[in-house]
Structure formats: C-alpha cells, structure tokens
Amino acid sequence: MNKRLIAVLAILTVAAAGAFAQIGLGLNAAIYSDTKMSFSEFGDRLRNGEGVFYGPFIELALGKTALGLSGNFSFYEEDWSYDPMNPWYVPMVDFDLSLYAQGHLIKYRAFLDPFLEVGLGIMGKDYANEIDDPDLDNPIMATTYFQAGGGFGINLGGLGIFIKGLYLFPMGTVKSSVYVDDDGDPFTPPLEITYDLATYPLRRLKLIAGAKIIL
C-alpha cells in the first residue's frame, strides 16, 4: 500500500485541526455497488458481511462545515496457485482512502443532521502482509476518484450515528516509479522508470453506515 499517500492525508488533516472547534472519531461500514440498493438490501449485506469494508475516520468540524479523513479496508485470502489441488492462499487487502468536506444544513452536532459531502479518494488492492509484498511503496492496482453525495445523521450529545450515499467518478490511473541500477556503477544515479499501476475496478456507488464520538 502507498504509505506516502496515507502519511500526506494524515498530515493535512492534523494540520487543519487547529482551525476547527470539534473533532469526530468513529467507524465506518461501507458497501460498494454499480446499481441502486434498497435499505433492506443494504442492511442484509451488512448483517451478512458481504463485500463490506470497515475502517476508522476522523472529522474536524466548525459550525456547519467539516473536513474528514476516512480509511476503509477489506481483508481476504486469494489463491495464487496454478494447481487447484495444492492451493496457495495469500492474504490480501482492498482499501479505500478518502479526504472529504461536508456541509451540514443545521449544525455538525445537531440532533437531526442532514448533510452534503464531496471529496477525493483512492481505491486499490495490495498485499496484506509486508513479508509478501515485493514493492512496499506501491499497491498492486489503484484508481483515484471524485465523490459526491449526502447523508443523514442523528446525534445524542457526543454520540452520533449516520448513513450516507456517495457517487464515485473515476479520475484515472495512479502513476508510480521504480529506480533501476542499469549499469552497476555505484557513482551513477539509478534510472527512474515511471509507469501506470493497474486500474482498480471502481464501483459507481458507495453506501456507508457509521457511528462516531464527538469531542
């Protein structure tokens, strides 16, 4: 997974913390789909754990506006063997990292809390364990996206729950680079080779249920 990207997003969020009056810390459960989904279908998939990504988020709020950083993850095993009689399962992870802004129609901490949201994100796939990963700086595949949508929350003092739906618009593949020592000369800088990562199959719709503590 691209640790540099995670670090940049975290630094941007922490650097903005001083300008905001409230902090929300919570957990997401996200489901992705290419078609519309009813509330009953969404609830059934959450209960069954079917295709659910889980992860933490932090939101920095002031009045009716908030800035958030979210990370959702799905861990599983993938058979990389060529022989079905001798499977070789490798732990993998799909991830979704997003930086977003919210506009709350009443207030961030209001009892009834309708809101709008826009943001930028990246979804990808990588090895779950570093020991299996030949390239620690880059995921196996990744796609950047723009997201827009809204949601509704209920807050009781410092505790809140919410649901939101976001449409995802792909922005393109992610570029990466490797350094190759092509001549073996220690006094010659290595050659940088830039390439596009494989495209992650982005879904059109992201549905999220979450809970948070407001500090």
Any idea what the CATH number is for the domain that residue 76 is in?
2.40.160.20
Whether 73 and 102 have beta carbons less than 8 Å apart is answered as no
Q: How far apart are CA 211 and CA 25, in angstroms?
A: 8
Q: Summarize pLDDT for 58-82 with one digit per residue, the tens.
A: 999 998 999 999 999 999 999 888 8
Q: Summarize pLDDT for 31-59 with one digit per residue, the tens.
A: 999 887 777 888 888 888 878 999 999 99
pTM: predicted TM-score of the whole model, two decimal places = 0.82
For residue 143, is it left (φ>0), alpha (ψ between -120 and 50) or beta? beta
Q: Summarize pLDDT for 109-153 with one digit per residue, the tens.
A: 999 999 999 999 999 999 999 998 888 888 999 999 999 999 999
Q: How far apart are CA 117 and CA 103, in angstroms?
A: 6
Q: How many alpha carbons fall within 13 Å on the CB side of residue 105?
A: 11
Q: How many domains does the chain have?
A: 1
Phi, psi for 172 (deg, rounded to 5): 135, 175
Highest mean pLDDT among 36-40, 186-190, 209-213: 209-213
153 is in which domain, residue-wise?
Answer: 3-214
Contacts of 95 (CB under 8 A, 6+ apart): 1, 53, 71, 72, 73, 74, 123, 124, 125, 126, 139
pLDDT of residue 196: 82
